[in-house]
Amino acid sequence: MPNYKSREEVPLEEKWDLHDIYDSLTTWESDLKSVAERTEQLKTYDGNITDAKSLYDYLVLSEETGYTYKKVYVYAMLQADLDTRDSKPQALLDRAKSLGVKLSSATSFFMPFLLSLDEKTLKSYIDQIEGLKYFEEDLMESYRYKTHVLTKEKEEVLSDLGEALSSPSNTFGMINNADIKFGKVTTKDGEKVELTRGMYSKLIEDDNRDVRREAYKAYYQPYVQLNNTIASTLSAAIKNNVTLAKMRKYPSALEKSLFSDMVPKDVYDNLIKVTKDHITPLHKYQNIRKETLGLDELRQYDLNVPLVKDVKEEITFDEAYQTMLDSLAPLGEEYVETLRSFKEKRYFDVRETPGKRSGAYNLGLYGVHPFVLLNHQDDLDSLFTLVHECGHAMHSWYSSNHQPQITAGYSIFVAEVASTVNEVLLIRYLLKTTKDEKMKKHLLNHFIDSFRGTMFTQVMFAEFEKTTHEKAENGGPLNAEVFNDVYEKIFREFNGNEMVFDDEVKYGWSRIPHFYRPFYVYKYATGYAAAIHIADQLLEGKSETLEKYMTFLKSGSSDYPLELLKAAGVDLTKPEPIRSALTIFSELVDEFASL
């Protein structure tokens, strides 16, 4: 696996081509200036939308400005993520963010204005100008928010506070990506090297328990040291959520988060309840893990080591890409060929380099194309990450190419479905095509671990979010001690008595960036359950399943997420999809136990 010391060493074909957004910084500057000018123009509509024509003109200008702003912001963000230590792209991003706050402030009058119109007047405007039909659904949807929109003055104040309110998240991001140093660990050759996140994901799977323990202790050390600082950023983020929910007259911060997707609170509560009711197979698996590894006691740093030895194989990026294309054949030729072209067109930034943002993501930019950030390590996990992110990228591509701009973006609630369908198709493909029995066992182990990470771990996180927000809503304190206690209690419940809990366990909450996007992680679990169902149907080769699924991928946000999923054959308002997924998990554990 290549170990690049700088971006210059990475081959061109494994780097993003950001020229697809802007050919030069001059063009970016020009668009930034144009957004700033249009932002001033948008302000002039405050108090001056008096008829159908002025409403239409405002909406067109607002959409055009928003589109250009997104390009400006995304370009700066993608540059900044390539090296979080480099102050130049960071400065571009800061300017884009600052302009975003001004744009938000300039348009903050609109929602209160719209809701001051009675529906009859609005409908008469829509009847007068053909172009307003394009905006009709969005305009009418706004009335759902009527009780949650504040006065014009208060909305302006909240917009002006945008940057301040996102400060806890930004601060944590800088601590986590730019400032944290994990110290040194010893390699197999006895050499002391600086630990990185990419390296940690490797070392925590090492056969040598001393190596795993050392990496684990080194990885958690900065989080333990910064425990109070990170607690203050998370506490501020949670209190911001709770305060905004109260100000906007939502029953709770959770219900505020669920409102836009029209997801009933029962869906969230059921997810936690049904998962905890079916926790026994997970505990059984932990026991199998302990026995297979021949341990007297199972600890957190034993949870990621593969249970089947000597099957580690190097999979280059090119090989991983081809395997992905082969495994996704059930999605049809058009899907596979479109995805093949993404690599040739350099939609990916593939390699880990110093200062690069950790992890992986897809960012779909309407009118341009998806951009996928990876930190590819030439192993099986990286293959799964690639397949996962390409699920998102293809969802972005289909929605952007089949929906107008207004409905092209899809809700986070359905986002994890496309990525996980791809993962399930990959694992089923590998299990079917692999002749090596040992590799089959390894893949089964991988499937179980992926299930554990995407379903059980995310539900555990979801319960942590719910509990901590409820504490804030009831006026309870939020500090490092509270977070540690809540996290440790839930972690113990999920992981059972087979595990011996190191002191580091309770600090696990402090390294999770998703907690700064409130009530986001539960969507991984609901998406996973839905995807398991869809993928198994696709593998049966039913043409109507493929047709329904492709329609789902092309639908963007043209309906509420639960409705889009119902049309694809999954009803998450009922506990069955969750129960069914957990039954499959139980079967996988039994199958693995029998081996």
Tokens of 31: 């668009």
| Active site (annotated) includes residue 333 | no
User: Between 265-277 and 576-594, two packed helices, what is the crossing angle to 10 degrees?
Assistant: 20
Give the three-state DSSP class for 119.
Answer: helix
Give the three-state DSSP class for 193.
Answer: strand
Written in H, E and C, the secondary structure of 338-387 is HHHHHHHCCCEECCCCCCCCCCCEEEECCCCCEEEECCCCCCHHHHHHHH
Tokens of 522: 């539960």
Tokens of 209: 């328990």
Catalytic-role residue among 14, 156, 352, 389? 389
Plot region of 574 (φ>0 → left; ψ -120 to 50 → alpha; else → beta)? beta
Q: What is the CA radius of gyration of the chain?
A: 24
The helix (run of H) or strand (run of E) holding residue 192 is strand 192-194
Plot region of 294 (φ>0 → left; ψ -120 to 50 → alpha; else → beta)? left
Give the three-state DSSP class for 54.
Answer: helix
Give the three-state DSSP class for 186.
Answer: strand
**CA–CA gap between residue 418 and residue 535 (Å, rounded):** 10
The backbone torsions φ and ψ at residue 295, rounded to the nearest 5 degrees and listed phi first, read -100, 145
The backbone torsions φ and ψ at residue 280, rounded to the nearest 5 degrees and listed phi first, read -55, -45
**CA distance from start to end of the chain:** 31
Query: How crowded is residue 90: how many other Cβ atoms within 10 Å of its Cβ?
Result: 17
Place of tokens 């054959």: 569
Give the three-state DSSP class for 298.
Answer: strand
Calculate ∠ Cα 526-527-528, nearest 5°.
90
Q: What count of residues does the chain have?
A: 595
The helix (run of H) or strand (run of E) holding residue 184 is strand 184-186
**CA–CA gap between residue 17 and residue 21 (Å, rounded):** 9
Nearest to 56 by CA among 139, 153, 149, 148: 139
Are 316 and 379 a contacting pair, CB within 8 Å? no
Cβ neighbors of 268 (< 8 A, separation 6 or more) are 254, 258, 462, 466, 519, 522
**CA–CA gap between residue 516 and residue 170 (Å, rounded):** 9
Are 487 and 508 a contacting pair, CB within 8 Å? yes
Nearest to 155 by CA among 191, 205, 104, 190: 104
Task: Looking at 474-575, list the stretches that DSSP marks H as alpha helix, in order from N- to C-terminal side.
Answer: 480-495, 522-539, 543-553, 561-567
**Residues belonging to the active site:** 389
